[in-house]
A and B are shown apart, each in its own frame.
Chain A
Amino acid sequence: MIEVRSLTRRYGKTTAVDGVSFSIGKNEIVGLLGHNGAGKTTIMRMLSGYLEPSGGTIHIDGTPLADNRLVIQRQLGYLPESLPVYPDMMVADYLHYAATIKGVAPEQRYHAVRQAIVATDLGKRALDPVATLSRGLKQRVGVAQAILGKPRLLILDEPTNGLDPQQTDHMRRLIQRLARQATVILSTHIMQEVDAICDRVLVLRHGKLALDKRLDTLRQSRTMLLRTDNSVDSLAGYLLKMPQVEALQQHADGDNRSRYTLTLHEKADMDTAANNLARCVIEAGARLYQLRPVVKGLEAVFHEVNSDGP
């Protein structure tokens, strides 16, 4: 669906995005994660056609964005960082305006507006001026404008910004529903957000792509935690002889107990490893208190990515 090759964007002398490449498949939900100023918004702006890249290319469905901008933008729903709403307009009027300039055919326009209002649950406030809405409701108006005309590509810059937990939950469900027909790229700096809805995460750091992983592989762990007593002295040696184990760290864990952090080989199967390790401990004569895979949280990954290097 989207092919991005060494995308670069400079603002004057500062480089906001520096040689970022990735590709996104159809109906994927991809989260762009990074600190403020990491380049998330700039990438989204380039994907939406608002900004031109200083270098690199964006292909959407095989066609370059630069040459086919208007055609591609017809398929695009975009929620910019700053909400594109006019405070003095009525919600429904604004959505009608947005549908018109988006090129929604006149006969489908009212239907599209109604759908967007229903989907974002704005029905009760549809005839109020935007200025009278709360931050969260305005955010929903922004999303409603983005989903007008059933876009095939949704780019949402911090869609849950300013929403309370209930609204956030509602928004997440909405995005997941939309993803059945569209590819969604959303940016956030909230980890749970990505955890909850994304299939894949792109972590940006200083304008560079620091991590590009599917969430399930990210969740997968190659580390096991083992707690035993200290009755067998050479247990560490036995454990290291296991074919799945690559490295081992031993920590004292209170009175006469030890904690081992075992790093497994890359291709090792977790279940086999667990079975082997349990048998090894029992057969060595030690007492097995705990054996579990260590699942790294996204937060840990994020910190890991952001802490190394300068």
Chain B
Amino acid sequence: MARNRVARRVAQKEVLLFFASPVAWLFLASFSAVTFFIFFWLESFFARNIADIRPLFEWMPVLLIFLSSALTMRMWSEERRTGTIEHILTQPVSLWYFVLGKFRACFTLLLLALVATLPLPVTVALIGDLDWGPVAAAYMATCLLGATYISAGLFISSLTDNPIVSLIGSVALCGLLYLAGSPTLTDFFDTSAGEALRLLGTGARFESITRGVLDLRDLWYYLSLSIGFLTLNVYCLERLRWSGVSSTARQKYWRAATLLVLLNLLLANLWLGRIDSLRVDLTQGRLYSISQSTRQFLDRLEEPLLIRGYFSAKTHPLLAPLVPQLRDLMREYAVAGKGKVRVEFIDPVENPEQEQEANERFGIRATPFQVADRYQSSLVNSYFNVLVQYGSEHQTLGFRELIEVRTAANAAADIMLRNPEYDITRAIKNVLYNYQMGGSLFERIDEPVEFIGYVSGDGLLPQTLLAYKNSIRAQLDAIVPRSDGKFSVRFIEPESRGGQVASQISEEWGFRPMVTGLDQESPFYFYLTLADSHQVVQLPTDDFDPGNFRTVLDAGLKRFASGFTRTVALSVPEVNEQMAPSIWVPRPSATWRKPFHGTTVSDWKTWLMARSHLTPISSRWSRPTTWTNNRSLRLTSS
């Protein structure tokens, strides 16, 4: 504790000395000025029309380099220049506390500089709906990155007695750390080497946190860099005592200890690099987490699922940054799949057999991209495909399905992944169902289902219906023995028992007696239902064609089986008074309107509400929904 007080007192002194000079105020003021300039001018916040403060952090890694270097440049070099370092080195306190104290001082100043930017998110939150998760994450990332730069700056500052040399040196070192992971450098290498460099660089991880995902690996990366540089700082100060490098026991001890600390930090990084589950998604909508519905699909897997990415090492520069994103997501599937999901990545160019298999079996072909830079233009045959395989079923996703091209304001195309989780999960769902369709329907049904036909006596039925009834009765009787006792058939005459059943079904489900024509006097009942203890569904009879009955029955039975139903969720904005004049809002009506393009959202809502109390069965519903083109409707399947 006493030592901690030393660090605090040192920090206090440094902050005091910092503010004693007008240069400090100048630094802080110019940092704020540049930040605001970038936010409003370079990144044109208002033109983006998005309520977030990402532009604030777009340039932060670069700005922080200069701010941190300026904050740290005098910290040790001044002490060395004026000779006060001698006083520090003769104090009965470990150097670590002085280093920590200086670090705390610089960090406090950095926080002060960041506090000056706080009005931005507060204002955005006041005028718009700001997701505070990514904002908090971004500030945290800034603090972490700042801490790293400050440590590097302190280290450089302890190497020299000239503040200007220290400033230039730390800008160079921090710049190098940043450049290592920036696209400028990684573009020279192929994807895997580029990715390794990106992991080394400070910028890419900063981006990852800024978008709102806290990963333990990123936190540890920054922390270990900070601790590493601070350790080197202590070592460099201790080295001032020595007369040249010789191999006295003390010097050996110091070198070994420093090396050990650095090595441990590095190893912990490598070790943590394999753990990809310790992450928190801070965004409001959990944008970067595997959704619950995907997890439900993955839980339903019985066979191993293979998700394979075919990515070429050299690809179109606009696609290249998407590859790691997609890889990350696919790895998330492996984590969420709890061993049932195998994720692998293949560069088809390096594996000719795999390429052949991809071409012949899965129909995956390389896409020719035209790559042009300032000096040359060439065609690159490149793969950007994802294969989802489950049992004998497979589905492939090409880059056309995965990406979305937006034209940005300056006419340059902006390519991004459309909704990769949705695309992949849909592919998984499709192969899962296609595979399950192959098996017997009754295996998927847990509770016994009873077929109940509310059909009038044979005498009351018209001739066609009588034939239909006999046909389906024969078909049903053939199914019963193959159902493992899960299926039973019962025909009830509603008119019997004094019409008690007739009034019951009329009340409950609206089954009313029908007539075939105006001339026919005698009404009759012909309603077919499937029921278990939870639900009753009506089977449509359409045009009373016995050939269709099996299809209709199967579709009906799927309502009772797990894994076949879809839930259609519809999200509609509240229509308020101001919006009303601009769009046509129909009065909600009880009449059924056919859902076509051009109908508005409230039509859909009405239509769905009207249908909700008794769900009619139609084979149309068991096919995967294909409304994704309609952007006003977001359909999620579960």
Q: B16 contacts which of A83, A88, A145 (Cβ < 8 Å)?
A: A88
B90 and A73 contact, CB distance less than 8 A: yes
- Once the chains bind, are B250 and A66 in contact (CB under 8 Å)? yes
Interface centre among B12, B16, B17, B91 (most CB of A within 10 A): B91
Does B243 reach chain A (CB closer than 8 Å)? yes
Q: Which chain B residue lies CB-closest to A45?
A: B86
Report the stretch among A6-14, A194-202, A234-242, A274-282 that lies at the interface.
A6-14
Determine if A89 and B16 form an interchain contact, defined as CB atoms under 8 angstroms apart: yes
Query: Is B244 within 8 A of A97, CB to CB?
Result: no
Q: CA–CA, A260 to B89, complex, Å?
A: 57
Binds A, one of B2-10, B170-178, B273-281, B527-535: B2-10
Whose C-beta in chain A lies nearest to the C-beta of B82? A82
Q: Is B241 positioned at the interface, with any CB of A under 8 Å from its CB?
A: yes
Establish whether residues A101 and B6, one from each chain, have CB atoms under 8 Å apart when the complex forms.
Answer: yes
B152-205 residues at the A interface, CB under 8 angstroms: none
Q: Is the CB of A50 within 8 A of B241?
A: yes
**Do A88 and B87 have beta carbons less than 8 Å apart?**
no
A83→B79 CA distance, assembly (Å): 11
Q: By the criterion CB–CB under 8 Å, are B6 and A100 in contact?
A: yes
Give a binary string over A202-242; 1 marks a CB under 8 Å from any B CB, 0 the rest: 00000000000000000000000000000000000000000
Closest chain B CB from A47 CB (angstroms): 10
A70 and B93 within 8 A (CB): yes
Residues in chain A near residue B94, CB distance under 8 A? 70
Q: Decide yes or no whether B13 CB sits under 8 A from chain A.
A: yes
Is B411 part of the binding interface, using a Cβ–Cβ cutoff of 8 Å? Answer: no
Q: Tell me which residues from 61 to 91 in chain B have a Cβ below 8 Å from any Cβ of chain A.
A: 82-84, 86-91
A81-120 vs B, Cβ < 8 Å mask (1 yes, 0 no): 1111110110001000110111101100000000000000
Query: Which of A50, A85, A88, A89 sits near B89, CB closer than 8 Å?
Result: A50
Q: Is A156 an interface residue (CB 8 A)?
A: no
Number of interface residues of B (CB under 8 A): 31
Given contacts A9-B243, A52-B241, A88-B17, contact A103 B2 (CB under 8 A): yes
A88–B20 touching, CB < 8 Å = yes
In the complex with contacts A50-B89, A71-B92, A80-B86, A10-B244 CB distance below 8 A = yes
Asked if B10 and A10 sit within 8 Å, CB to CB, the answer is no
Residue-wise interface mask of B (191-228) relative to A, using a CB-CB cutoff of 8 A (1 in contact, 0 not): 00000000000000000000000000000000000000
Asked whether any CB of chain B lies closer than 8 Å to the CB of A31, the reply is no
Contact of A74 among B89, B92, B98, B243 (CB under 8 A): B92
A139 within 8 A of B: no
Give the residue name and chain of the A residue nearest to B13 (CB): A97
Chain B's closest residue to A103 (CB) is B92
Contact of A51 among B83, B92, B241, B250 (CB under 8 A): B241
Contact B6 A49 (CB under 8 A): no
Name the residue on B nearest A149 (C-beta): B92
Residue of B nearest to A75 (CB): B92
Q: What are the residues of chain B within 8 A of A106 when measuring CB–CB?
A: 5
Q: In the assembled complex, which residues on chain B have CB atoms less than 8 Å from the CB atom of A85?
A: 84
**Shortest distance in angstroms between A86's beta carbon and chain B's nearest beta carbon?**
6
How many angstroms from the CA of A109 to the CA of B9 in the assembled complex?
A: 13
Cα A89 to Cα B84 in complex, Å, equals 13
**A71's closest neighbor in chain B, by CB?**
B92
With A and B bound together, what is the CA distance between A45 and B84 in angstroms?
Answer: 13
B84 near A84: Cβ-Cβ < 8 Å: yes
Contact of B9 among A49, A72, A80, A100 (CB under 8 A): A100
Other A-B pairs, 6, CB within 8 Å; known A103-B6, A106-B5: A84-B83, A84-B86, A93-B16, A97-B13, A102-B92, A103-B93
Q: Which 10 A-B pairs have the closest CB atoms?
A: A84-B87, A82-B83, A88-B20, A74-B92, A73-B92, A100-B9, A80-B86, A48-B90, A52-B241, A54-B243
